[in-house]
Amino acid sequence: MPTRQELQPSEYAEYYAKYIEQVEPTERLIEAFDRSLAELMSYLEVVPLEQEHFSYGEDKWTITQSLQHIIDCERIFAYRALRIARADQTPLPGFEQDEFAAISGPRSRSLVSLIEELKAVRNSTRHLFASFKSAAMERTGTMSGHTHSVRAIGFVICGHALHHAKLYRERYVWA
């Protein structure tokens, strides 16, 4: 499994550097999948159920909306990684995260159900990336108009989860 420090800037769009940099430089991708999930879970497992729809500000996502966003993004990025790993050179489009969040209906979902879904999605993502050989991990394709390697997408998934775990700890707090 690759480490973050093996990535070259040419393997991902500059926008995603903020997520990739959340992963420790010498951390292997498979370890990053485990740690980023553990970081999320360390927060989510102690959220009082009456706070599951808490938002830290007007026009900010609730805890459940944010979690649904993490799950949606992981699914989309894993799909993109699969397409690129299998040498599909079709340019893969972006998506509008705010539109996804608006229509996902997280108020109709419990935090407990979303946590279970997150665990299932992460398990699937982890198995997918573990199945990729080195050549597939290094393969590149076009995603949102930029070149990305499969391994970079894996680190984006992990870093995105770590980014939100940090936001949860810093902004989604209560007395």
**What is the CATH number for 157?**
1.20.120.450
> What's the structural domain count of the chain?
1
Question: How many CA atoms are closer than 13 Å to the CA of 26, on its beta-carbon side?
Answer: 0
Secondary structure (DSSP) of 92-121:
BP---HHHHHHHS-GGGS-HHHHHHHHHHH
At residue 112 the predicted structure's pLDDT band, cuts being 50, 70 and 90, is very high
Q: Give a yes or no: residue 108 inside a domain.
A: yes
Domain of 18 in residue numbering reads as 4-46+59-171
Residue 175 is predicted with a pLDDT of: 43
Residue 66 is predicted with a pLDDT of: 94
Residue 106 is predicted with a pLDDT of: 64
Q: Give a yes or no: residue 52 inside a domain.
A: no
Arithmetic mean of pLDDT, 30-34: 98
Q: Give a yes or no: residue 53 inside a domain.
A: no
Q: Which residue has the tokens 């935090």?
A: 111
Q: Give a yes or no: residue 38 inside a domain.
A: yes
- Per this entry, what is the length of the chain? 175
d(CA 4, CA 138): 13
Arithmetic mean of pLDDT, 95-100: 88
d(CA 92, CA 74): 15
Per-residue pLDDT tens for 130-153? Answer: 999 999 999 999 999 999 999 999
Q: Give a yes or no: residue 54 inside a domain.
A: no
Residue 132 is predicted with a pLDDT of: 98
